[in-house]
Structure 1
Amino acid sequence: MLSSSVTPSEKRKAFRAGLASGTIQRFPGAFTPLTAPLIQQLGFEGVYISGAVMAAELGLPDIGLTTLSEVAERGRQISRMTDLPTLIDADTGFGEAMNVARAVHELEDAGVAGLHLEDQVNPKRCGHLDGKEVVGVEIAAQRIAAAVQARRDPDLVIMARTDIRGVHGSSSEGLAAAVDRAKALEAAGADAIFPEAMATLEEFAAIRAAVDVPILANMTEFGKSPLFTHQQLQDVGVNLAIHPVSLLRVAMGAIERELGLLAETGTLDEAVPRMQTRARLYELNDYAAYSAFDAGVFDFEVPGGFAQEPPARP
């Protein structure tokens, strides 16, 4: 009730243990706090908090328009709803080294287990769109070094994302650049590497061979990477798979279809069997625990003498 009973420190330790386990960690993206307990109940290992989703919920494109305070608040809202570790998208760190340091503190305070920082220029854009630009390796490494130095909990996972693969037209040139960038980011202190827009399993395998830290695969629909299975990714050494926008897309697709039905027929009676029931919603919101707590408070008897009105002041 109200918040997870698992501390952020425990979640961060669990995240690190999962990344080291040899079993791929599956992190669907929670597009609302209410989806976080559902992800937990269905047996996934963690929850992803997508920057693209946070922007979309505000009616904004994913081009770096969300603020640190908006991102931190959403991270806090989702993290409190689950015992699982959460990984949050921190874009480019909301600036350069000093901004990155402050972002780490804010997101650490929000209770996330990890965050990733990318090497795009500001303003950034979605990792699966064309026309991206990346900063030089020195600035990219500085962002990671600043984040590592700023964290207060050594178990907070600082992940480095590189978009350099998608900047190059040639697959061989892009992969070589991604390998070099991944090595530099690991040397700067990154706990894990997020190579964006890998085109094949062999490209993931090449990144795996290049670094000693865990690597992430972004399994976003309509993107540059094919939608490989978790087993395929694990077989080439991927440690973590995220599905950042999937739940939002599923939900928005259903919303659009049923709104069309309502506009056409004037009723949603036909759609009721496809809806989440009131009882299931109450389960996810933990109504029973809130009710029990409330009843306990109202049943509480104040010890004798303290329930009386205080004497009037002269």
Structure 2
Amino acid sequence: MACIVAKTVGLEVLQWGLVAVPVFVTGHQLTSSGNSTLSANQGGSFIAIGKLSLVAYWMILLGSFLLVTLAVYLPVKIFLYRQRQSTSATLEWRPSILLYNLLSALPCYVMILVGIQTPLSNVNAKLYEDAIYVTTPTILLCLIATEWVAKWKEDDNFSSDMAEAMLNDFHTAYDIMELISLGLDDDIASKTWPIFAIFFFSFLAMFKYVPRSPKYKNEEEESGNSRAKNWLLTNIFVQDLPFFTLRVTLIGLYGLKAGELLYPAKSAAGLVFRSLQLYLMRKEKGKVAPSTSEKSIAPEELDLEEKDETMDVEDLPTETLEG
């Protein structure tokens, strides 16, 4: 019992830490990049945010995060824990991923977008490079780790299917990173809407982890089929379709850069293959569905037919045998 409690508490603390790390890494990158909202104070040796000292900035950031933890994160976790205790039903989605996206990834992306909207091109480029090489990888790695912790809670056994799913998590993270790196192009970076579109669709793709993926490939139960369908639809509408649309639009407006053709082709392939999977699932479900003639036969009639076929001679009435 003590081991189970320790594991539960440890995993919850780990998930909370994964929410916290990207926020403070992003805050550090904002203060160290020297963007226009951060200026050297002429009367002292400390960096100031406008008229706010760096110490006050960190205190506000820390206080805001703790307030959100106490007001949102902790109450939601307690509610979900009590709900799991009161019912044996398994959730078809992962609340931990939703909380991570809303309380960690979203604030980080907002801070990055606010920071890079500066009139100083060199500072803008420096902060965007930090977002590419430091901040965004941290956000994605913590997202993947949150996903793995959720899987660990669901199943202690590390199966081959789980290993393959973890590998796919890195493929998604790499796809997001490649989309964000498009903003390093001067033509794209000089416009506001492509940068906001890139970050919006990158953030949207993080919600692909919210639905629970099918646990096993050979899962044939109805809940497993429903879960697989929801997972495929989520992948299509939060990653494959938006990424394909945005990449084709940027190619049409700003030209075909070296290597860019591979990524819209990958998104198009994802659309085709996942749509094909949905079609095959629907077709297979139609095959295994009971026919109308079978449904029209009542269970009592089936029982009587089975009894007639298995009736022994000794069970027949005496009059019938004598006749």
TM-score (norm 1): 0.22
| More helix per residue | 2
**Higher radius of gyration, 1 or 2:** 2
